Structure 1
Amino acid sequence: MSDTLASGILVSALLRRVNDAGGMGMVRARGDADSGAILMILNDGPGRSRLVERGRDSLGKRALIAAGPSGASDPMACDTYWRRRRERDPDLWVIELDIPSAERFAAETILDD
């Protein structure tokens, strides 16, 4: 048995926290409820978007890892990237967070190690 929470529960908790804090969080694509990877589009302010995903760092600890093409602040590039990822991995969750300090909300909620 795994000691990590299911992806669906982590996503629900993250969206609730962001929405309760006055931001907006939405599911762009629903993944596997138990073990789907989580890719996030973080919108920290006007024109400041980037992609990160939950993964493991070089020490094996859970971390938010930069994802997507370089110059991923381009909304079309971000959209193209996650849609291609979904074609290869239909279990992938794609979450968009629109709140200042979006990375902090994500890290506090879905990094469980």
Structure 2
Amino acid sequence: MLVGALLRRVNDAGGIAMVRAKGDAQGGAILLLIEDRSGPVRVLERTLGLDGAASLTVSTPADDAESYWRRRRARDPDLWVVELDIPEAERFAAETILSN
């Protein structure tokens, strides 16, 4: 549900959002690939704190983001991987997947 809402918001705002890998519909983790024309792809993850509150955590690897998410996906088949290409992608992600 969160991924669907994020896809709609980004696409409705003129950006591009696409699912690179589908995870578990009820409880899969969400990993975001943020396209940046001025630099390498940034990686953010939706994480839950000890208090149960969701946050976005920077997980950008030192090496290739593509290899990173594929390794993560191999270990966690429930992982959602979503690519965003829109200015202020972090804002869209925070407003959509952290507000619930």
Q: 1:39–1:53: 8 Å Cα contact kept in structure 2?
A: yes
**Using a 3 Å threshold, how does the CA distance of structure 1 residues 45 and 100 change in structure 2: closer, same or farther?**
farther
Runs of 4+ in 1 over 3 A off after TM superposition: 57-60
Question: What is the alpha-carbon distance in structure 1 between the residues aligned to residue 91 and residue 55 of structure 2?
Answer: 12
Question: What is the alpha-carbon distance in structure 2 between the residues aligned to residue 25 and residue 55 of structure 1?
Answer: 20
Given candidates 67, 88, 96, the residue that maps to 2:75 is: 88
- Listed as ranges, the matches of 1:100-111 within 5 Å are 100-111=87-98
Question: What is the alpha-carbon distance in structure 2 between the residues aligned to residue 12 and residue 60 of structure 1?
Answer: 22
Question: What is the alpha-carbon distance in structure 2 between the residues aligned to residue 44 and residue 78 of structure 1?
Answer: 12
Q: CA RMSD in A?
A: 1.7
How many residues in Structure 1 have an aligned counterpart in Structure 2? 100
- Listed as ranges, the matches of 1:1-113 within 5 Å are 9-57=1-49, 60-70=52-62, 77-112=64-99
**Normalised by the size of structure 2, how large is the TM-score?**
0.90
The letter of the residue matching 1:43 is E
Identity of aligned residues (%): 60
